[in-house]
Structure 1
Amino acid sequence: MSTLSRTYSTRSAKAAIPSSPISEIMSSPPAPQKRKRPFTDLPTEHNTPTKRPRRMSSSSSLPSSSAPSTLKPKGKPKLPAGTKAKSSAAKKAAPAPKQARLTQLHFALDAPTLRTCPLCDLSYTRGAPDDEALHRAHCARVRRGLEWGREEQREADAARVEELLAGVKLANGARGRVVCFRPDVGGKIGAKLAVLLETIRLALTSPALSPAVLRRSKIYLFLLTAPGPSPAREKIVGCVVAQRIATAMAIARSSEVSAARSKNASASTTSTPASSQTVADALSSQGTIAGEDPSESAPSLALLPVDDSTNLYVHPTPLPTPMGIPRLFVSSEYRRLGIASRLLSVAASTFILGCPLNPARGEVAFTQPTGAGKGVLEAWGKGGVRIYEEEGDA
């Protein structure tokens, strides 16, 4: 039998005592018994026990007062010397934030807060955000007009916008066109018209047009083609509102106004002073005191003042007139280019279908024109334009 080496993992096994004596004559040798592999024959990595991480309890994690502490205090990691120098240089090179410049304010109790813009003649309160925002938007529209873009052009057919004159060349070489539509449109065009009428109301310091007037009116716009590669960009730089009226009053000539003033000056020596009376009141009172019928007096002596600053007077006798112009407006940067005359001519020729009107014969009237409006009606109307009183709500 072979000799086995003893290890700490093997034990000597007692040989089994056979029940019968061993005989040399045996059929076959006994089968070898299976045994475990000796520990020494295993590889080194299997013999080395693995180290498990030591779990420290809350009580053992804190260092005792007697034993020296091996834990390092928490703090910023120590940077290399070159890194610290670079960070300090970067801090020195970074610009310091600029301090806002302060302004010393003073109470100006005697200074007026209401200001009138010299460009758009709109009065607003300085320092009020709402007033200043309104002024900026209004001033831009008065000077440069309103935009007429692709959205308005898409709704032109549905709103029955009619192009009356195309390819109009102005005095400065720019080109545009004249369109017309009813004021009861909706959508984008209706919203644009509302903004335009409000701009005209503020610019002319006039009351808003009543619904009764708008129901009998037509809107004429001059669309100026904006310079640039996009031909769809246009601006509304001119507007005329034309309405159907019944009667109007003829404008008095300068000679008639002078004669009325001289007559009033001579009558004021024996009656009420002229400073407390208008020309029409003085002349009409003369006819009443004398017992005469005012309608039988000379028409040149019974005048009604429309605007004393522009020396505009009218005869009180109403005359049949088919068309009236309650609003006329042109953006300030595009005036004196013939836009107002083109709009008025197109309105007079197309307002009544198949019946063009002649302003020289008194078939067109204005309502209380301003100083600039008076110059337009005198140049365009050739002395035949009349004045009518604007109607209110009916």
Structure 2
Amino acid sequence: MLSSPLESDVSDTRLLIGKRKMSSQGSPLSCAEDIDAHTRKRPRNLKQAHFSTPMKRTVCSECQMSYMQHMKSDRQLHDKYHRRAIEGIELGPTNSLLCNLIERHQLKSGVDGKIVEVNSESSKEISVAEEFLDIVNNILSAPQDNRDWSSDPNRGKVFMFVIRNKAVGICSTERIKEGKWMVYDTGELVPKQKIPLAIGISRIYVSHKYRRMGIGLRLLFAVQQHSIYGLTLTKYQIGWSQPSEFGGKLALSFNGVKHKSGKMLIPIYEER
């Protein structure tokens, strides 16, 4: 019996579908995915590469400047900065700071020096003082200091010790009203006690080359005499902001007091 054209087409279609199913289920090479799976290579174990580099920075133990030793420009920059930090800042013979003389001194070594006061109306003098203080903060790892003195001498002053046209010591101050006693050995504050103070030592520093010559004490004596016009301060009207190891020893010798417990105290204040 002959089938109709429609039945023949349906039968052929069913046969074709069946063949495709068998082909997809039974043959491993029936599709592109299977071929790719057999031909794809397994990835190798990957390892992270580590490159050695000469870009390591060096920190100078004396001036605390960070620089790259292998770079000539960095070495030259460090050498210049290092000289200023260790030997002082060259002022030059015509610098106006040299005209602001308030005291002359001859040091134990026989070297002549003088103390000058920074004029808050001179941008050049302020620039020199700020450069010196930036070096001091870097060496002491100290935060930015209060620089009210640069706009109003009634709020603070800056004194420098000069030897042969070179600023080798600096002391910046601010006007304050009160402070507290600090135990020198432990850094602890004496509780429930406030002391009247007039001047705070914000920063005081003497270049390494000129230490142990009495420059720090002479700067403090200048603070006593020249901070407030017509008034000589007592040692105990002067407080300390955050004395470093060097500043702590200087504070102890200048206005440290012995408590009845036997502990040594120094007057400090909180810097604004």
Q: Normalising by structure 2, report the TM-score.
A: 0.69
Is this contact kept in 1: 2:168–2:207, CA < 8 A? yes
How far does the alpha carbon of each residue in 1:197-231 deviate from its partner, in whole angstroms, 9 at most, with x for none? 22222222222234446441211111113xxxxxx
Distance 1:149 1:320, change over 3 A: same
- The residue type paired with residue 202 of structure 2 is P
Which structure 2 residues correspond to residues 17-56 of structure 1 after superposition, within 5 A?
none
2:232 aligns with 356
Please tell me the residue identity of whatever aligns with 2:225.
S
Name the structure 1 match of 2:271.
390
- CA drift of 1:380 comes to 1.7
Structure 1 runs of 4+ aligned residues shifted over 6 Å read none
How far does the alpha carbon of each residue in 1:222-274 deviate from its partner, in whole angstroms, 9 at most, with x for none? 1113xxxxxxxx111111112101211112265xxxxxxxxxxxxxxxxxxxx
Please tell me whether residue 164 in structure 1 is matched to residue 102 in structure 2. Answer: yes
Count residues with an aligned counterpart. Answer: 212
Task: Determine the C-alpha separation between the residues in 2 that align with 1:169 and 1:108.
Answer: 58
Provide the C-alpha distance between the structure 1 equivalents of 2:149 and 2:201, rounded to a whole number of angstroms: 11
Question: What is the SS of the residue equivalent to 1:151?
Answer: coil
Q: Aligned pair 1:217/2:156, yes or no?
A: yes
- 1:346 aligns with 222
Query: Structure 2 CA distance, aligned partners of 1:253 and 1:116?
Result: 29
Q: Choose from 162, 166, 177 the match for 1:246.
A: 177
Q: 1:136 matched to which residue of 2?
A: 79
Q: 1:202 to 1:134 in 2, by over 3 A?
A: farther
Q: Which residue of 2 aligns with 1:200?
A: 136
Code of the residue aligned with 1:322 in structure 2: it is A
Q: Which amino acid aligns with 2:91?
A: W
Q: 1:385 & 1:355 partners in 2: Cα distance?
A: 22
State the SS of the aligned residue for 2:200: strand
Question: What's the offset of the Cα at 1:110?
Answer: 8.4
Seen in structure 2, the aligned counterparts of structure 1 residues 122 and 253 have a Cα distance that, compared at 3 Å, is closer
Q: Partners of 1:386 and 1:238 in 2: how far apart?
A: 22
Counterpart of 1:127, as a letter, is H
Measure the CA separation in 2 of the matches of 1:314 and 1:130: 46
Q: List gaps (5 residues or longer) in structure 1.
A: 1-106, 226-233, 255-310
| Aligned residue number for residue 379 of structure 1 | 253
TM-score (norm 1): 0.49
Which protein shows a greater Rg?
A: 1
Give the fraction of aligned pairs with identical amino acids, expressed as a percent.
24
Deviation at 1:344, TM superposition (A): 0.5
**TM superposition shift of 1:182:** 3.5
Residues in 1 aligned to 2:172 and 2:206: alpha-carbon distance in whole angstroms: 12
Contact 2:174 2:201 in 1 (8 A): yes
Residue from 188, 191, 195 that aligns with 1:313: 188
Compute the RMSD of aligned alpha carbons.
Answer: 2.6
**Which residue number in structure 2 is paired with residue 114 of structure 1?**
57
8 Å CA contact retained: 2:103, 2:114: yes
Is contact 2:148-2:174 (8 Å) kept?
no
Find out whether 1:149 has 2:85 as its counterpart.
no
Distance change (3 Å), C-alpha of 1:197 and 1:245 = same
The aligned counterpart of 1:281 is: none
Change beyond 3 A, Cα 1:151–1:363: same
Alignment gaps of 5+ in structure 2: 1-49, 258-264
- When you count helix as a share of all residues, which structure comes out higher? 2
Give how far 1:143 is off: 1.1
Counterpart contact for 1:364–1:385, Cα < 8 Å: no
